[in-house]
Structure 1
């Protein structure tokens, strides 16, 4: 019987539920201990007796959870060949992508089958290319390649919005072959950047016709991954960067996103209050990819040997826009350009205007986009950058 992905998918969900139950039990136990033994107050023998009995209960819960989880996991492994195929519907792919965005680094470290392995798919999703591919099975390919890179918690389906797909429409209009990247957005941006660098190098090696040019359009976090990939490609003098002619960034948080900075402040507050310290663990389950969005980390040196949950300022390494590549940036704003500056600066509700345009109060950190290569899309939210017809028209004007 042919192998399918149903078994691993269900195994991944089971392992995640098991880990979630164990983690929740630890938090509840810690909260229980804090309540029974108030900070700065002496504990009585009765209080110690209560926590001792409760500790036995919590240990039994965790032991039972592990036993049941392992039993289900083994059963699913044996039953995998006999289970029906669960197709990659947009809803299923979205669920897995969101889990990867929030917990992706954890999934990868624990070898959870839900962890997405980086690959490129064609518009029909019937062919994929990864770093180990020995040949390209796509037909009727063009020498001009268009790479579409999604953002945090995203996937290749996200480009399909309101019966429109920027990538497919541009490829048809300008005689290109569109490829859509899938990756684990919960891993560090720099880790995905290194992987994308290797994948694009493999791509030009196996591409069945001479590569004329590579254009990359990225949304949100995808822009940071793209910049990271080029950085590592340049360090290794890889061939694909010589073919890369244009990069377009849609709502990319080049200098970080305010929501992650708020989350970092909240972590610190919860941690220093004795009764909420256990709850602070919940905030720290968020992935390395998400914490990279605090200031727009691009390279490994931005986070290596540092506590990513520590409250600290912007300590990024300066990574300029690629030399020899025409770079463009589109920022969304929910209002109009005629609105008050304070309203305009808030951007598309997820990424501020200045961050999306690469502008920073420190001139050394500002990205030098040419003014003619930047554009502001009015009355556009972060997700609407993927479907807005005016955004598409601007993209098309830059593709000429």
Structure 2
């Protein structure tokens, strides 16, 4: 008998992050990327021909004649390679992680999927790619089934009358509320006796699309909650705050029941009026479109998801984006949406600066979100969000992600939510 070669620990560690369904989904994504490169090349080719005074061919973006036939052959070869890749992947399946052996995926895999969904999530969903992240409610690292027996079994004695929902930001997931050994959900559960539930969602979709789905999911959760539910608190970090505002607006318009139990909305570093990083991305689009030779490259910038482009001005409603080219005009055309009546709303803004000033307010911010945007402040009174003075906190010398691990922020959340508790 021949001696069996011992497994390579390094390879095993890598394969621990890969599920069988990931292989085909990744191959599908790679094939789409290859087609995109071919289209980009043909677009540049056509731009050069027009510049030299030659006929554009079949269209502005597609060549005709022999040149067009060559591009079609290349696309055909790509499809054949894709079919061959599918066959080859079958041989790799025994080498990857078996869900039966590890029912819960590794944290590394989950973090990569969250980032991928943030950047390309709308495209993944549109093409039916298995890497698209469905919306889930989670507790203790497990997905919750929304029926009374399953919820009772999952939550047990931890199911109380006060539900705390935590909604993550762009390119993140529910596990990333834990940062530097701290989790606001666990901290508030211990301090206030509330039951933390975490949302996981595809942050590459439109904010209002996620808001609508969250509203429906909360209606089901409330109906199945094992004990009488008296109070709901939502804490949203970054984009999560926009999704939460959207969910409340949709639920109230639909006459859903859960908003009647909503007592507090807390926003951590939420770009209520947008983030300059996405505006910079739009500026790059405009620069690339300025010349015929670089115009085809605008497709690269336009790969970014609907969720990302919603962050340009802080979209929360369908009307903010429907019927418009999301890569078009840089103007802010949002329909103003005030904070919900009857709900105590709180805003925590962070800044890398040590004190307030022009630089801290408009330029520095927390590295991603300007201070004024996180506080809901706007030069247009119709867009101003009316946070009460005592319902705002500025975290100095704090970055966007550091809001998740800041002890002063945790203590401020505890103080705000404790003040809203009914006396025993």
Q: Same fold per TM (> 0.5)? A: yes
- Confirm whether residue 186 of structure 1 aligns to residue 198 of structure 2: no
Q: Please say if 1:98 is aligned against 2:115.
A: yes
Q: Indicate the residue corresponding to 1:6 in structure 2.
A: 19
1:217 corresponding residue in structure 2: 235
Report the TM-score, using the length of structure 1 for normalisation: 0.90
Q: Secondary structure at the match of 2:289?
A: helix
Give the alignment partner of residue 39 of structure 1, picking from 51, 60, 67. Answer: 51
Contact 1:265 1:311 in 2 (8 A): no
Report the 3-state secondary structure (helix = DSSP H, G, I; strand = E; otherwise coil) of the residue aligned with 1:266: helix
| Distance in 2 separating the partners of 1:315 and 1:62 | 39
Task: State the superposition RMSD in angstroms.
Answer: 2.5
* Alignment map for 1:17-36 (pairs within 5 Å): 17-35=30-48
Structure 1 spans left out of the alignment, 5+ residues: 45-49
SS in 2 for 1:272: coil
- Alpha-carbon distance, 1:293 to partner: 0.7
Q: 64, 67, 86: which is aligned to 2:80? A: 67
TM-superposition CA deviations, 1:286-326 (whole Å, max 9, x none): 11111111111111011111111102411101111111110
Give how far 1:73 is off: 3.9
Query: 1:236-287 CA deviation, whole Å, 9 max, x = no partner?
Result: 1211101111110000010111111121122122113111011111011111
Q: Is the 8 A contact 1:150 1:221 kept in 2?
A: yes
Is 1:342 the counterpart of 2:359? The answer is yes
Which sits farther off after the overlay, 16-25 or 147-156? 16-25
- Offset of residue 231 of structure 1: 0.1
CA shift, 1:134, in A, is 8.3
Pairing 1:288–2:324 present: no
1:164 — aligned with what?
A: 182
Per mean C-alpha deviation after superposition, the further-off stretch among 68-77 and 378-387 is: 68-77
**Which of 28, 35, 43 in structure 2 is aligned with 1:15?**
28
1:146–1:217 Cα contact (<8 Å) kept = yes
Structure 1 stretch displaced more, 80-89 or 199-208: 80-89
Cα distance in 2 for residues equivalent to 1:315 and 1:283: 21
CA contact (8 A) 1:7 1:77 kept: no
2:380 aligned partner: 362
- Secondary structure class of the residue paired with 1:295: coil
CA gap of 1:96–1:51, structure 2 versus 1, over 3 A, is same
Residue 76 of structure 1: how far off its partner (Å): 5.3
Q: Structure 1 CA distance, aligned partners of 2:93 and 2:256?
A: 40
Matches of 1:333 and 1:134, distance apart in 2: 45
Contact map agreement 1:116 1:183 (CA 8 A) in 2: yes
Rate the CA distance shift 1:324–1:78 in 2: closer, same or farther, 3 A.
Answer: farther
Structure 2 counterpart of 1:126: 142
2:344 is matched with which residue: 326, 333, 345?
A: 326
Q: CA 1:55/1:190 → structure 2, altered by over 3 Å: closer, same or farther?
A: same
Q: Is the 8 A contact 1:8 1:77 kept in 2?
A: no
Partner of 1:302: 320
Consecutive unaligned residues of structure 2, counting only runs of 5 or more, are 1-17, 57-62, 419-424
What's the TM-score, normalizing by structure 2? 0.85
Q: Does 2:286 correspond to 1:268? A: yes
Bigger shift: residues 72-81 or 217-226: 72-81
Deviation track 1:38-96 (CA, whole Å, cap 9, x = no partner) reads 5153479xxxxx99666555433322222232444467589869964265222211111
Aligned length, in residue pairs: 388
Q: Distance in 1 between matches of 2:299 and 2:259?
A: 41
